[in-house]
Structure 1
Amino acid sequence: MNILIDDIRIFKELTIRGCKECSFSNGGHLFAAVHGNVIQIYSSTTFENVSNLKGHNGKVRAIAWSADDSKLISSGMDGAVYEWSAAAAKRVNEVVLKSCAYSGVTVSPSGKHTYAVGSDKSIKEITESQILRTVDSGGATLTQIVMSHSGRMLFCGTSGGALRSIKFPLTDSGEWAEHQAHASQITKMKITYDDQFLITVSEDACLMIWRVSDKEGRGV
């Protein structure tokens, strides 16, 4: 879309049936759109479908680009977390845990660590096809997860509408501060490029903008 002073005009339309998940690369030159269990990669300049990432056996629920756009991480209802090479359009790492239906995924700035949440009420820290750490959520179902661009902050959303600020680096016991705001499940979270604001949306039809600060109220 073209954003004008007082209007938004459609510039190009792409027909992707049942698409509930899409994400621009950090450089903006590519964007990924999910169609069922297939991830379609498009060029933002030519709008061509440059590649299709196939491998999930269930619906893909979350995708995240690495900071340098060399990798795309995906997680799905099939219990799989896949790491893809964006250039080669091939899967390079994977972890499959069929007992968990994943709903959220994020990646560290270095691209070496992936963090995923889902139906098993825990946070998974993953690297090189191995689960390094599983942190219990204390009985809450975590629906979304996002890491700051600095790599120093980790946030999770819950099925009850609460926002959690997770102590990072992760500990085996897990520590967090919880802030209740939404009346229903948090369905998406994004943090601004300068790490100053966190945006959450929920099934309660509300969008909230949070200022990110330390205990003394200073920006981080």
Structure 2
Amino acid sequence: MKPLSGALGSTRFVAVAFSVVSQEGGPPRYLCAVTAGSEPTLVLMNWESEKILAKCKLPGTVDRVAFPFQHDRTDVTVSGPHMLRLLQIRHAKGEVTLKTMPAFSGLQEKAEAILDHTWLEAGRGLLGLCVHEGPVHILSADELIVLRTIESAFGPEGDLEEVLPLCIRSFTHGFLLGGSHGYLAVWEEADDEAFASVDDGSEGSRRAPENEYKLAVAVKIREDPDAVCSLDITPSEEHLLLGFGDSAMGVVPMASIYGNEEEQVPINISGNHSAAITGMDMAVHRSLVVTICHRDSSMRLWNWATRTCEIRSKFGGDPPTAVAIHPFGYYLAMAFAEKLRFYHILIKDIRLHKEINLRGVGLLKFTHGGHLLAVTQGKSIYIYSVRTLEKLATLSGHNQEITCLSFDPEDHTLWSTSQDGKLIKWNLATFRNESSHVETGSERLAVSVISPDQATCSIFRNGKQLLQRFSQSDLEYEVELESNVKVVSLYHHHGNSMFLAGTARGGLQIYTSLPYQGKPKFVELALHGMACTAICVSVDGSPV
């Protein structure tokens, strides 16, 4: 991994691309990036030196940038919803500049919504472009004109005529199209016999390069109707990487696309959610992580060791609201609008074990030993026996909705925070309130327990973010963070002073300790576009 923050700053980028790898096999020469905002800018950078060579403002919104595959070309192209432009990289007097060329003749930029474009490897100086209205255009980068328009890119027969191309990528012998309804099309250079010109019929003459492409195959990749909205191909051209409309990703062997039409194309689908993850938990004795998404009403069970999704379950109109996995990794608790359900984790599926009528569950948390389950409902906490699934106690003391639960490593105490600024330490032997702290007008966002008598709490007070350290049930000290971004999740790695904090802006802050005086030092990774609301770490601390 090569961080570029020093060269590019903290600007948000919406498209990036590398130039072609050098003929000697070394690293690419250029990296191009397009900035977001009202005035999008193309930034050209030397990849090895991390030096910005040139910048150029673009005449419209851009979501795709591409370099040609030929080593002797010094061009780069950008495209957006209503724009396609070619820029020339010019070297003069030791300086590098970007020259924006005129619009392509014959391309109705205002009338057509441009979705994607690519340089064609087989055709020298040719571009492929797909638009929302359905056609695929072949363009000349030298003449800046549209050479050919393909109206039915997936074929004229039956339902294929209704398939719209959404993305395009080049490969050695042609180009690939990803389309609506899960379709993929391959266009290849015509064979030698097709090179004879249809205009004069003279032997040995070749038709124009843009007309050398023909439809080789169009195939439905998935039974699900989700569109193929992004694609790429490995350098060896043995496998395709596909992105679908439901946020799933898949890997397809290139050779399988040319198989029997009646055979289903083998595809390895990963199990990404199609919206924000709203719940997450990690097992202790197995390398499993469970996630839920309220919007797509689904659960995913991931193996972090193999980085695969092992189980996917959808729940239709009854989306899950909270989830917890047993430390042993063979048992699952999941809350829904009206029910609390318990599942056995099988090899390829989950099986319902028992359900309890309980509405409005907010949080679920197993003890480290797995013998108890804490369930929140508004301002109350229920403690269930995992062995009998009977309710053992109701913990009452909060005046508003509970925001966080944390057990100490030895399962002697449970700490909880709520929206009214209250922090309570519960004794799990007696199920009694052992101590409580309340700050009116402040928000207690998260708590992480280090030992039965020590914890770190996140509190937001008067527009300032603070971290508090509690010891022997009393507030020992608090420190104010330099950034006033809310810390919404905390995790202490047992056995050392290091802890992690997730922020409302999606950052992950890594602290080596929480000093008694002065500003705490941390390293922050900008990981997510939304709040980092859950952090899980394995027992050995290797994956986070």
| CA–CA separation in structure 2 for the residues paired with 1:12 and 1:131 | 41
Q: Is the 8 A contact 2:513 2:520 kept in 1?
A: no
For the aligned residues, what is the CA RMSD?
A: 1.4
Q: Which residue of structure 2 aligns with residue 85 of structure 1?
A: 427
2:539 maps to amino acid: Y
CA distance in 2, matches of 1:119, 1:147: 19
2:520 counterpart residue number: 174
1:130 partner letter: D
Summarize the alignment of residues 34-53 of structure 1 with structure 2, pairs less than 5 Å apart.
Answer: 34-53=376-395
Q: Residues 149 and 194 of structure 1 are in contact (CA less than 8 Å); yes or no, is this contact kept in structure 2?
A: no
CA shift in 2, pair 1:103/1:49, >3 Å: same
Say whether residues 1:20 and 2:366 are aligned partners: no
* Paired residue type of 1:112: D
Q: Give the aligned partner of residue 530 of structure 2.
A: 184
Deviation at 1:192, TM superposition (A): 1.6
Query: Who is 2:540 aligned against?
Result: 194
Alignment match, 1:134: 478
Distance 1:162 1:169 in 2: 18
Does 1:151 pair with 2:492? Answer: no
Following superposition, the deviation at residue 171 of structure 1 comes to 4.2
Higher helix share: 2
By how many angstroms is 1:170 displaced? 2.8
Aligned to 1:67: 409
Structure 2: gaps spanning 5 or more residues:
1-342
CA contact (8 A) 1:115 1:126 kept: yes
Query: Is contact 1:118–1:143 with CA below 8 Å preserved after alignment?
Result: no
* In 1: Cα distance, 2:523 partner to 2:365 partner: 28
**Among the aligned pairs, what percent are the same residue?**
25
CA pair 99-35 structure 1, distance change in 2 beyond 3 A: same
8 A contact 2:453–2:473 mirrored in 1: no
Partners of 1:123 and 1:135 within 8 A in 2:
yes
- What are the Cα deviations for residues 15-58 of structure 1, in whole angstroms up to 9, with x where unaligned? 33221211000110101010100000000010000001000011
* Structure-2 change in CA distance of 1:29 and 1:178 (3 Å): same
Indicate how the Cα distance of structure 1 residues 190 and 170 shifts in structure 2: closer, same or farther if over 3 A, else same.
farther
| Contact in 1 for aligned 2:486/2:503 (Cα 8 Å) | yes
- How far the C-alpha of 1:152 sits from its partner, in A, is 2.6
2:449 touches 2:455 (CA, 8 Å); kept in 1?
yes
Q: Residues 500 and 510 of structure 2 are in contact (CA less than 8 Å); yes or no, is this contact kept in structure 1?
A: yes
> What is the distance in 1 between the residues matched to 2:516 and 2:508?
19
| Mapped contact 2:487–2:502 kept (Cα < 8 A) | yes
Counterpart residue number, 2:299: none
> Is the 8 Å Cα contact of residues 504 and 531 (structure 2) preserved in structure 1?
yes
Q: Which has the higher contact order (CA 8 A, sep 6+)?
A: 1
Query: Structure 1 residues 11 and 91 mapped into 2: Cα distance closer, same or farther (>3 Å)?
Result: same
Instruction: Indicate the residue corresponding to 1:210 in structure 2.
Output: none
Q: The residue matched to 1:75 in structure 2 has which SS? A: strand
Greater mean deviation of Cα atoms: 29-38 or 87-96: 87-96
Of 111-120 and 1-10, the range deviating more from structure 2: 111-120
Q: Distance between the aligned counterparts of 2:466 and 2:452, measured in 1?
A: 21
